[in-house]
Amino acid sequence: MLSTFAYAFHFDASLYARYLRGYAEQRGVRRFDRKILDVSLRAADGFIEAVVLEGGERVEGDLFIDCSGFRGLLIEQALKSGYEDWSHWLLCDRAVAVPCQSAGQLTPYTRSTAREAGWQWRIPLQHRTGNGYVYCSRYLGDDEAAATLLANLDGEALAAPRMLQFTTGRRRRFWNRNCVALGLASGFLEPLESTSIHLIMTGVSRLVHYFPFGGVTQSFVDQYNEDVRLEAEAVRDFIILHYHVTDRVDTPFWRACREMQVPELLARRIRMFRERAHAWRGENEIFQLDSWVQVMFGQGIQPANYNHMTEGMKAPELARFLEGIRTTISRAVASMPAHQESLDRYCRASDDVWKNAAMK
């Protein structure tokens, strides 16, 4: 039963990227470490014919995956696929990040702390702790954000704060002609639920599923775009829920979050929970039913009624059922090593690894 619980990992992003690069190259992937200067389109249908690298080399292909980050070098700059801006729902448009020395017990979770105009993340790794403040530039200046972050670290800062800007939203077409955008080239959802790398993984799996063997056909392109849109919108709504359902009225930022009009499907979801404690998980959605329930309750929604189907289980039977869960979990926890002990035992990295890790 316990193996069905969802979990996630904390990685050092630059070390993980290096690992994946080595993994791919060992299996025959060729890497050109050069800047793309131009994108050449086929006159007949506007498909991408080749990318032109620094030095003039042309790399031709049948299918191109755009992983160029926010700028969307192929999907937007060359193919003009369009961008749907969601920043009226997700107001944060900046982040400041800084690593610091680890202090105290290593915790097995990300801590997210609400702040005046956004929230602060704390991600403990073996060799350092990653920190950042995601905020809305309409309500907070960059210097104030950096000062707040630096005043709320566990240990000494290990680098100067790094500023990032973003526009939350999605590419209107994730797959356009013979180009598929993955990662930040496909859109940006702020990291409150750390979904970006997961969405890259589901994007890769989906592309394998709909792979254009024998050529690109519009039916597959349309289905891919529809699937990704629904997946991204569900993540978007789940994140909006954290901001919108709040009691905080102490700052203009939180008042704006509370008063905003949310997407219709999310508004209905909230009403269904308020009215009858009804939560659901749609097809293709990343977040499980439990996650929706926890955020609804956690943000303070008290349902007015309950689902009468639950009366099928009498109170003593329910108590026994819950006690069974509690006992199973307690036993599992008692027999497992603590987080630090488990890292030391199974995956402790040598000091050399940490020395080479970029301080991101």
Ligand X SMILES: Cc1cc2nc3c(=O)[nH]c(=O)nc-3n(C[C@H](O)[C@H](O)[C@H](O)COP(=O)(O)OP(=O)(O)OC[C@H]3O[C@@H](n4cnc5c(N)ncnc54)[C@H](O)[C@@H]3O)c2cc1C
> Contact residues for ligand X (CB under 6 A)?
35-36, 67-69, 71, 73, 95, 97, 132, 164, 166, 183-185, 191, 194, 196-197
The pair of structure tokens assigned to 355 is 């020395």
CB of 71 to ligand X, least distance (A): 6
CB of 358 to ligand X, least distance (A): 12
CB of 34 to ligand X, least distance (A): 7
Residue 133 or 273 with smaller CB distance to ligand X: 133
Residue 65 or 296 with smaller CB distance to ligand X: 65
Which residues are CB-contacts of 344 (< 8 A; sequence separation ≥ 6)? none
CA distance 57 to 215: 25
Give the CB-nearest residue to ligand X: 183
CB of 228 to ligand X, least distance (A): 14
Residue 95 or 270 with smaller CB distance to ligand X: 95
Q: Is the dihedral of CA 87, 88, 89, 93 positive or negative?
A: positive
Q: By three-state DSSP, how is residue 29 classified?
A: coil
Q: By three-state DSSP, how is residue 98 classified?
A: strand
CB of 80 to ligand X, least distance (A): 17
Q: Give me the helices (H) in the chain, please.
A: 13-26, 142-150, 196-209, 218-244, 252-259, 264-276, 289-298, 315-335, 339-346, 351-356
- Cα distances from 66 to residues 25, 54, 58, 181, 236, in angstroms, run 19, 17, 16, 5, 22
Residue 59 or 272 with smaller CB distance to ligand X: 59
User: Which one, of 59, 1, 5, 16, lies nearest residue 201 by Cα?
Assistant: 16
Residue 117 or 270 with smaller CB distance to ligand X: 117
Residue 200 or 301 with smaller CB distance to ligand X: 200
CB of 185 to ligand X, least distance (A): 6
